[in-house]
Amino acid sequence: MFEKWITDGTASPFYVRKEFKILKPVKSATAKVCGLGQFLFYINGRKVSGHELDPAWTDYHKWIQYVTFDVAGYLHQGSNGIGAEVGNGWYHKTDEYYTFAFPPFMPPNPNPYKPFGKSLVFAMELTVGYEDGTEEVLAADESFKVKRHPVVMSNVYGSETIDGALVQKGWSKAGFDDSDWQEAQPVMPEEAPKGELKNQFQPPVKIIRSYDAKYLHMIESSPAREIYDFGQNMSGMLDFEVKGKKGDSIKVYPAEKLGEDGDVDQMAKNWMMVNSCITYVIGEDDVWEHCRMKFTYFAGRFAAVEKICACEKAEEVPEGAAKGSGAVQEKHEIQMRNFHADAVSSAYKADGSFMCDDERYMQIYDMIEKTVEANMIGVHTDCPTIERFAWQEPNHLMASSIFYMKDGRKLWEKFLMDMRYAQHKKEDYFLDFAGEKFYPGDGLMPSQCPCYIPNVLPVPGMGSFYDIIPWGSTCILGAYWHYRFYGDRKIIEDNYGAGIRYLRHLQTKKDSNGFISHGLGDWGNPRNDLARENIETAFLFADAKVLAEFAERLGKKEEQKELEEYARRIKEEYNEKLMVRHPEEGFWCYRCFDHPDEIFLTQASQALPLFWGMVPEERIGDITKALRYTLERDGAFICGEVGLPYVIQSACRYGMNDIISKFILKKEHPSYYSFILDGETTLGEYWETNPRSHCHDMMGHIIEWYYNGIAGIIPAEPGFEKVIIKPWLPESIHEFTCAYESVQGPVKVHVKESEKEILLETEVPRGVEKSVDLSNLEQRGKKIVIKIGDCETQ
C-alpha cells in the first residue's frame, strides 16, 4: 500500500517531520500511518488520538498493522506541520538493561531473536478531500526531514533513556526551524518491511487510569533512593517533571514488590534480575522539564528513584581524564514533581460488571480484572515483567472469563490472525543444537504468536515449549469461545482451515500408546501432577469435536462425518485405556496414565472429559463423584492453568458451587483470596506467596464462575440468542447485581436475600429466548419472588 518507507538510517529512535500547505477548505482528511517498531503521530503540535504504542505487535515478516486516523480536525488552511516519533519495539530490539534470556536449566537456544530490519522505518499516506470535490495525497518520501530522538535508548522490556538536551520543542508545528535536520533516506526494497499491510482493526492501547506516586521512605545508599508506591501493579508509562542542572539525571527502577530492606526488589523469584530502568538526563539549567515514556511500558507497582548530580557523575570518568570537566562542581538539589504512572491497556471497554456485599469477592474480581488489563497490550502477554510473550493458551482457557468482563471481539480476531500467519508450512525450518535444519512440521501452531525468540526444541525432562496442544488449540478453541459469545459465523470461516491443518499435525504426534504427550500437561499444577497423556489427549478430542461442529455450521457434511468419527475413536480409546473402577471408593474414574503402578486421580483428569463430553452417559454420575472426591481429598484447587477452568466449570455444572466458594476464599495458598491477604493487587503466576511473576492472568478463570455460576447468566445458544438464568447465592453473599452487555443487548440479574424471602430480578433483551432455573436459589429454603422484565436494546 505504501509506495515508500523512509528512515534516518539508524536503529535508534528518531523524529520525522514535513511542512505543507493547504490552500482550500478541507472536507475530510485521513492519514494511514506506520512506524516500526512503535510510533506516535502529530499534526500542528498536537498528538493525534489517544493511542499509545501503535502499531500492535505482529510478526513483521508476515503481516504489519498500519493505523488509520481521521485528521480533518487537526488541519487548517495555510501552513501545516506533520510528523511522528518512531521507536524500537520488537522491530529492532535493544538489549540495554533487562531483556529476556532463557534460564540456565534450559539448553542454549540456537534460534535467537533477529531484528526485522537494519533500521527503524516510517511510512505515511495523508489523503485530504476538499469541499470543491478535489483530493490531494501527501506520502512520506525523501522530502521529509529526520532528527535523532531524545529517547536515545528504548528497550521493549520497559527501559528507556531520555536525553533532555535533544528535545526539539515545537518540532511538529509549521514554521519550526529544521535547517539542521537531515533529509530522510528511502528504504531500499530489499530492506523494506516484508509483511502484508493491514489496517489496525482491534482496540488500540490507551491510558485507562492514572496513579499518583506516594512517597514511602528513603533508602540510605549511594546514591540515595527514594521509594514510591503507585498503589497498583500495572503495565504503565511513567510521567514526571524534573528540574536541576544540565547533565543531572533521574533514574527510576520499577518493581512489583519491595524487599525486606524496604528497597525495590527486581529479582523474579530467583529466576533472573528484571533490572529495568527509566533514565532522564536534564537538558537545561534550572528549568522544569517533562519526562514521559514513549515507546515501551514499565511493569510494577513500586519505584525507586535515584537523583544523580552531574558533579557525582564527573567522578566516574576514565583514568587519565580530568575529573569534573564540563560538570557542575557543587552538589545541588534535583527536584521532581507530578510523578505519576498511566496504566495502559487494549482491554478498556467493559462488557460486564459484578457487585456484591462480600468485599472478598469484589477484591478477587478487581485483582483479576486489573491483571487482564495489564496483559492486553495489542497481544495477550503472559506477564508484563519477565517474558512479555504472546503465549496462546489463555486465549481459550481464559476466553470466557475475559469475554464476560471485557469486549474481546476484535482483540481475539487479531490474536487468531496472528496464529494463522504463524502456522508452519512444511518447508519452514529452524536450527537444532548441532546447527542442522529442524523442520517443526506442516500445520504446527507455535505456542507464541507472534513469536520473537523461538524456543523450538524440546527441553529434556520437561517437554516442548513450542508445540503444546493446549496452546496451539487456541486456533480452534479460541474461535469456539468467540463464536459462543458473539455468534459471528465469520470467525469459523476464517479459522476452520487453520484448525484442520493443526489437527492433521496433531495426528502425527501420537505416541506409541495412542496419546498426545509431548507438551506440558497441566502446566502450573502446584504438585507437578501434569497428567500429560490425560490432559493433552482430551484436547485432541475437544479439537476434533469443535471442528466437527464448525464443519456442520459451514455445511461441510462429509468433513463433519469424518471429524465426528475421529472424535468418537479418540473417546473410545481414551475411555478404554484410562477409565477404571476405584478400588476403595467403588466409582468409575479416570486414572492418570503417567502413574502406571497405582490408581492416581487428579482434579483435571476428571474435569476435562466431563466438560467436553467424553464420558459415557451412564458413567457421568461416577465421574462427577470422582471429581468431588478429588476436590474434597485435596481441600483446594490442586490443578494448573490448563485444568483449572474445567475443574471450576465442571464443579459448577454438577452442583459443587459450595466447594468452589470455599476454595476461593481460603486464607492460604492455593486460593485467590490468599493473594489478597499477601497484599497483591494483581494475580500471581502460580499458587504461592511471592511468585515469579506477580501479574499473570493465566489462572483467573474464576471470573467466568462469577457470571455463570453465581449470577447464572449462561449462553444456551451462540451469540446469546438463548439465555438461561440460573443464579446461586454463596453462603456469605446476601445481595449481588450482575450485568453483561451481550451482542443482543444487556442481560441483568439482581438477587437480594432478606430474612424471609429471596428477590430475583432479571432483564433479558427482547427477542432473546430465555428460561429461569430456580433450583440453586431453592437450596436456601426461602420463598422466591421473581421479577422478569425485558430490557430495551438501544
What span, in angstroms and rounded, lies between the C-alpha atoms of 590 and 580?
A: 6
The pLDDT-based confidence of 107 (bands split at 50, 70, 90) is confident
> Contact at 8 Å (CB) between 608 and 645?
no
342-386 pLDDT per residue, tens: 999 998 899 999 999 999 999 999 999 999 999 999 999 999 999
> Contact at 8 Å (CB) between 272 and 302?
no
Separation of first and last alpha carbons in the chain = 38
Asked if residue 323 has pLDDT above 70, the reply is no
Asked if residue 318 has pLDDT above 80, the reply is no
Asked if residue 490 has pLDDT above 70, the reply is yes
> Contact at 8 Å (CB) between 307 and 213?
no
Report the percentage of the chain scoring pLDDT > 90. 92
What span, in angstroms and rounded, lies between the C-alpha atoms of 647 and 631?
A: 9
> Contact at 8 Å (CB) between 526 and 670?
yes
Shared domain check, 334 and 316: yes
Write the Ramachandran bin of 204: left for phi over 0, alpha for psi from -120 to 50, otherwise beta: beta
Shared domain check, 224 and 186: no
How high does pLDDT run on average in the chain?
A: 95
Shared domain check, 306 and 240: yes
What span, in angstroms and rounded, lies between the C-alpha atoms of 450 and 713?
A: 34
Asked if residue 316 has pLDDT above 80, the reply is no
30-57 pLDDT per residue, tens: 999 999 999 999 999 999 999 999 999 9
662-688 pLDDT per residue, tens: 999 999 999 999 999 999 999 999 999
Core vs surface per residue 210-244: b (16+ CB within 10 A) or e: ebebeeeeebeeeeebbbbbbebbbbbbbbbebbb
What span, in angstroms and rounded, lies between the C-alpha atoms of 506 and 518?
A: 10
CATH classification of the domain holding 737:
2.60.420.10
At 172 the three-state DSSP class reads coil
The amino acid that residue 91 corresponds to is Y
At residue 214, the pLDDT reads 99
Question: Within a domain: residue 170?
Answer: yes
Write down which residue in 318, 345, 372 finishes a domain: 345
Shared domain check, 726 and 771: yes
At residue 126, the pLDDT reads 98
What span, in angstroms and rounded, lies between the C-alpha atoms of 365 and 368?
A: 5
Average pLDDT over residues 453-478: 92
Q: Which has the closest alpha carbon to 762: 704, 717, 711? A: 711
Query: Phi then psi for 424, rounded to 5 degrees?
Result: -75, 145
Asked if residue 403 has pLDDT above 60, the reply is yes
Asked if residue 288 has pLDDT above 90, the reply is yes
Shared domain check, 229 and 181: no
The pLDDT-based confidence of 313 (bands split at 50, 70, 90) is low
Asked if residue 648 has pLDDT above 50, the reply is yes
At residue 790, the pLDDT reads 57
DSSP string covering 427-460: T--EE-TTS-EE---TT---SBSS-SS---SPBT
What span, in angstroms and rounded, lies between the C-alpha atoms of 568 and 713?
A: 31
Asked if residue 317 has pLDDT above 60, the reply is no
546-599 pLDDT per residue, tens: 999 999 999 999 999 999 999 999 999 999 999 999 999 999 999 999 999 999
Question: Within a domain: residue 545?
Answer: no
Question: Within a domain: residue 384?
Answer: no
Average pLDDT over residues 625-648: 98
Q: Which has the closest alpha carbon to 697: 322, 272, 234, 311? A: 234
Element (H, E) at 242: strand 225-243
At residue 321, the pLDDT reads 36
Shared domain check, 139 and 52: yes
Question: Within a domain: residue 587?
Answer: no
CATH classification of the domain holding 68:
2.60.120.260
At residue 269, the pLDDT reads 85
At residue 791, the pLDDT reads 46
Strands 289-292 and 225-243: antiparallel
Shared domain check, 211 and 74: no
Write down which residue in 345, 365, 397 finishes a domain: 345
Query: Phi then psi for 758, rounded to 5 degrees?
Result: -120, 125
Write the Ramachandran bin of 715: left for phi over 0, alpha for psi from -120 to 50, otherwise beta: beta
Furthest C-alpha separation in the chain: 89
Question: Within a domain: residue 577?
Answer: no
Asked if residue 225 has pLDDT above 50, the reply is yes
> 179: exposed, middle or buried (C-beta count within 10 Å: 0-12, 13-18, 19+)?
exposed
Shared domain check, 186 and 243: no
Shared domain check, 44 and 177: yes
All 3 cell numbers of residue 596?
Answer: 502406571
Helix/strand/coil percent split, the chain, to 5: 25, 30, 45
The residue whose grid cell reads 520473537 is 452
Q: Which has the closest alpha carbon to 543: 577, 594, 591, 509? A: 509
What span, in angstroms and rounded, lies between the C-alpha atoms of 613 and 545?
A: 9
What span, in angstroms and rounded, lies between the C-alpha atoms of 449 and 422?
A: 6
Shared domain check, 213 and 110: no
Write down which residue in 345, 379, 394 finishes a domain: 345
Shared domain check, 341 and 227: yes
Question: Within a domain: residue 339?
Answer: yes
At 676 the three-state DSSP class reads helix
Question: Within a domain: residue 691?
Answer: no
Shared domain check, 330 and 194: no
Asked if residue 235 has pLDDT above 70, the reply is yes
The pLDDT-based confidence of 270 (bands split at 50, 70, 90) is confident
179-192 pLDDT per residue, tens: 999 999 999 999 99
Give how many domains the chain has, as a whole number. Answer: 3
| Domain region containing 786 | 711-794
Question: Within a domain: residue 75?
Answer: yes
Asked if residue 319 has pLDDT above 80, the reply is no
